[in-house]
Amino acid sequence: MQFIGRKKELKLLDKAWHSEDAFVMITGRRCVGKTALVREFLKNRNALFFTAQNVSDKMNRMAFENMLYDHMGVSRHGDGENQHVMSWKDAFRLYAETSETGGKVLVIDNFDHLMTASEDFVKIFKNAWQQIFSVNGVMVIIILPSSASLLELAMKKSFMDNITGHIDLKPVGYVEMMREMPHNDFNQLMFLFSVAGGIPKYWQPFSTCVDDKNFRRAIEKNFFDIHGEFYQEVPYLLQKDVWETHVYHSVLLEMSTGLTMPEEIAGATGFKLSQVENTIKNLILLGYVEKTTSIIERRLFGRKTTLYRIKDPMVAFWFTFVAPFVDEIKQGRAGRAKKKLKNHFAEYIQYWFRRVATEIFMTASRQGGVPIRCAEVGEYFNRHHEGIDILGIDVENRKVFLGDCNYSNQPYTKAKFDRFVEHCESIKEIRRNFKNYEKVYGIFSAYPFDKELLDYALITKNVLLFNGITIYSLNS
């Protein structure tokens, strides 16, 4: 599969390459593309790329030494149990001080495995950087997942102080997906994003899908079959990243049903509130959950209402459509899972459409594609259960953007637009905070708009209709 995007990250690595000292740490959730990013950067560069395994320290040292000798084109003597294995310090020194042309890059993937195998490894590597690599002009890149090992490493300040660059790799955004895959239409990519998210590795089983039916068949094959690519993907991720997987599984399962507050989740699971809060905190650090507060809600008693939702589409999809039926699927009975997919997928995709619409609007705002430049963009909700999908604030020009999102196979009508405007006007907090602001309304739809609404937008100021990435408006 071709390498997708990551131009910003590649520029950061190239900048580090040209600096005098370069000790770069690359983190991110599993399968996000950390290794692929580094391999793309290393094209036409002289590098030693070592992938650590989940084995003993001696076995990893032996593997590194073998790779080092192969890299140097040198045959080693002795084998088996009697073979002497170099210390990490000696192996690092041999690599750093061996003459080569074109500069050197040492990459250690799965750095966390080396931390697990030896409690002294972090200290050894820090000293190697200070005394061996930096003085010999070796660029060092370490790769590790956003897991418990990263949290442990972050607590070692003496080590982290040596890091000259940190790339926390995020999933590919929807706008970047569109740029990199221009031959796929908006709805194809919307289906793909809602199931696989911005993880290029997860896109491969859907590469030949061209319509709704193809996607559903691919979903059934890969999720609803014990031999499917993704049947056990999410449990595998949790098993690799956390302890007490049953706690994390329970919290995510309740989140997938719509519970968004720790108190609700604690009540549904039976776990203590403190345990649920700590679990959610770790899930945020791992990139699986996000914390959301209303963009303009007043603070009540010093606190804002905070909602917690699953951030990763693959995790959300698995807990919504696979987890409730995992035992039935194991027995070859996937009927109920398929029925839920058929009846509730449109509802499920609506949430991710709001996420995508927000990203599209933010991109258009930054690039001047809409008549408002918003420094703040977010979701609005209050304790009266009144909400607006997208709210953007342009303080400098005293404008506010109010957006509604609708992923449906029915056209968005002028009557529905009028109801949305009335809804916005009825919210006291909106009226109070934006009394003297110019209002810009935006409607996001994956389906073509009703002709009456389309005609209205083309003759009315500050009405923007987003059909995918196409904008219809008098302003444009």
What global pTM score does this model have?
Answer: 0.86
- Three-class secondary structure of residue 365 per DSSP: helix
Q: Which CATH number fits domain 175-351: 1.10.3720.10, 3.40.50.300, 1.10.10.10, 3.90.1150.10?
A: 1.10.10.10
What phi and psi, each to the nearest 5 degrees, are found at residue 132?
-125, -60
pLDDT tens for residues 169-212?
999 999 888 887 777 888 889 999 999 999 988 999 998 888 88
* Band of pLDDT at residue 146, cut at 50, 70 and 90: confident
* Band of pLDDT at residue 301, cut at 50, 70 and 90: very low
Contact 294, 382 (CB under 8 A): yes
What's the rounded Cα separation, in Å, for the pair 113 and 142?
A: 12
Question: If you ran DSSP here, which 8-state letter would residue 446 be given?
Answer: S
Pairing of the two strands 387-394 and 376-381: antiparallel
Nearest to 453 by CA among 435, 469, 467, 439: 467
The per-residue pLDDT of the chain, averaged, comes to: 91
Q: Which CATH number fits domain 368-472: 3.30.70, 2.60.120, 2.30.30, 3.40.1350?
A: 3.40.1350
How much is the average pLDDT of 235-240? 88
328 vs 240: which has the higher pLDDT: 328
Residues of the chain with CATH 3.40.1350: 368-472
Structure tokens at 467: 């059909």
Predicted local confidence at residue 300, as pLDDT: 44
Residue 285: what residue type?
L
Contact 28, 170 (CB under 8 A): yes
Predicted local confidence at residue 322, as pLDDT: 97
pLDDT tens for residues 259-271?
999 999 999 999 9
How much is the average pLDDT of 441-469? 94
Residues of the chain with CATH 1.10.10.10: 175-351
Q: Where are the alpha helices (H) located in 162-272, listed in sequence order? A: 174-180, 186-196, 200-203, 212-223, 233-241, 245-256, 262-269
Predicted local confidence at residue 200, as pLDDT: 86
Which conformational region is residue 391 in: left (phi greater than 0), alpha (psi within -120 to 50 degrees), or beta? beta
Nearest to 100 by CA among 46, 41, 49: 46
Burial class of residue 326 (count of CB atoms within 10 Å of its CB; 0-12, 13-18, 19+) = middle
Residue 79 has pLDDT above 80, yes or no: no
What's the rounded Cα separation, in Å, for the pair 247 and 249?
A: 5
**Cα-Cα-Cα-Cα dihedral sign, residues 51, 57, 63, 66:** positive
What would the CATH number be for the domain defined by 7-168?
A: 3.40.50.300
What's the rounded Cα separation, in Å, for the pair 190 and 184?
A: 10
Predicted local confidence at residue 240, as pLDDT: 79
How much is the average pLDDT of 449-461? 95
Residue 80 has pLDDT above 70, yes or no: no
What's the rounded Cα separation, in Å, for the pair 60 and 69?
A: 14
Structure tokens at 35: 């290794």
Predicted local confidence at residue 77, as pLDDT: 60
Output Rg (C-alpha) for the chain, integer angstroms.
26
Residue 99 has pLDDT above 90, yes or no: no
Contact 28, 146 (CB under 8 A): yes
- Of all residues in the chain, the percent with pLDDT exceeding 90 is 74
SS percent in the chain: helix, strand, coil, step 5 = 50, 15, 35
Predicted local confidence at residue 364, as pLDDT: 93
* Maximum Cα–Cα distance across the chain: 85
- Three-class secondary structure of residue 184 per DSSP: coil
What's the rounded Cα separation, in Å, for the pair 124 and 194?
A: 43
Predicted local confidence at residue 76, as pLDDT: 67
What phi and psi, each to the nearest 5 degrees, are found at residue 99?
-70, 130
- Three-class secondary structure of residue 139 per DSSP: strand
Report the side by side order of strands in the sheet with 23-27: 47-51, 104-109, 138-143, 23-27, 165-168
Residues of the chain with CATH 3.40.50.300: 7-168
